[in-house]
Amino acid sequence: MRFLIVARIDEPSALACAKAIYRLLADSGHQVVCDEETAAGTGLSGATIQDADAQVAVVVGGDGTILLAVQRMKVQIPVLAINWGEVGFLAGLEPAEAVPFLKRMKEGFPVEERMRISLSQDGVYVGDALNEALIVTARPAKMLRFVVSIDGVQAEQFRADGLLISTPTGSTAYAMSAGGPIVDPRLTGVLLVPLAPYLLSARPQLIGADRTIEVRLTGGKPATMVIDGQTSVEIEGSGIIGVKVSPEPARFVDTGKNFFSRVNEKLRSL
């Protein structure tokens, strides 16, 4: 098989793990290449994530590293994520499990798809998110005014410090910290979670992914939208954020672990 290796570059132990996995796979007869940043940290051969012709991306890092790798892929290839972070909700394997799993991994492995959301500003595409898009004020201590429309009908309006537009996968990330529910990632829906709303009636909402969702800023205050913690988009005073299901879902190698068992395990470790 053809493997791409991506590692957390600010952690020497993650780079060492990536190097060991590279040697293991190469010695087993597989074609292996690192992304450019991992290659620079390990001295191994490298290519851009976009240009790597791989069947599997082995990502050694935390959720941030995984999100960055997914965002950089032009075409989504299955990700086998090894947790080298604080919690690692997106990771399917812990470090001790990686080598045994890779040794028995063969072509035809099962893959789990995770929906992403496609985001636009005033009709112009700005990016896809696997976890969430965060809209916050560009001025500290200022609140934003939001109007949410679903299928062309105004469904909610509120003032808040910000708004999280999350996928089911992202429900265990910032959305959970902000009081949102944990959502089964097999569902397709969009979770809206207001951040510190002025009125308690503004509650999290889970909306069917087949609906047309628009979020309008009306207060005239500048805001910033951050996509998966990686990309920032400035919103000057007003704007309409369109939300729909991305045609290109993220793909993860199915390691056979139950989602709810993993969530329980991760939450107990915090």
Digit-coded pLDDT (tens) for 155-185? 999 999 999 999 999 999 999 999 999 999 9
d(CA 115, CA 157): 26
- Please tell me the pTM assigned to this model: 0.92
Among the listed residues 252, 255, 262, the one whose alpha carbon sits nearest the alpha carbon of residue 112: 252
3-class secondary-structure state, position 249: coil
d(CA 255, CA 258): 9
- The domain spans of the chain are 2-114+249-268, 117-245
Question: Active-site residue numbers?
Answer: 63
Angle (CA) 86 92 96, round 5° = 75
Among the listed residues 78, 99, 1, 25, the one whose alpha carbon sits nearest the alpha carbon of residue 253: 78
User: Topology of 117-245 in CATH?
Assistant: Tumour Suppressor Smad4 (2.60.200)
Reading the block at residue 121, the tokens are 């500003």
d(CA 126, CA 231): 9
Q: What is the mean pLDDT of the chain?
A: 93
The correct CATH number of 2-114+249-268 out of 3.30.413.10, 3.40.50.10330, 2.60.40.10, 3.40.50.1110 is: 3.40.50.10330
Provide Rg for the chain, Cα atoms. 20
Residue 268 pLDDT > 90: no
d(CA 59, CA 41): 14
Digit-coded pLDDT (tens) for 16-61? 999 999 999 999 999 999 999 999 999 998 989 988 889 999 999 9
Could you tell me if 34 and 54 are in contact, meaning their C-beta atoms sit under 8 angstroms apart? no
The pLDDT of 237-266, averaged and rounded, is 91
Residue 249 pLDDT > 90: yes
> pLDDT tier at 269 (50, 70, 90 boundaries)?
low
Q: In the prediction, which pLDDT does 183 show?
A: 96
Digit-coded pLDDT (tens) for 125-134? 999 999 999 9
Identify the DSSP state of 93: B
CA dihedral 240, 243, 248, 249 (to 10 degrees): 140
Residue 121 pLDDT > 80: yes
Categorise residue 108: left if φ over 0, alpha if ψ from -120 to 50, beta otherwise: left
Q: Do domains 2-114+249-268 and 117-245 have the same CATH topology?
A: no
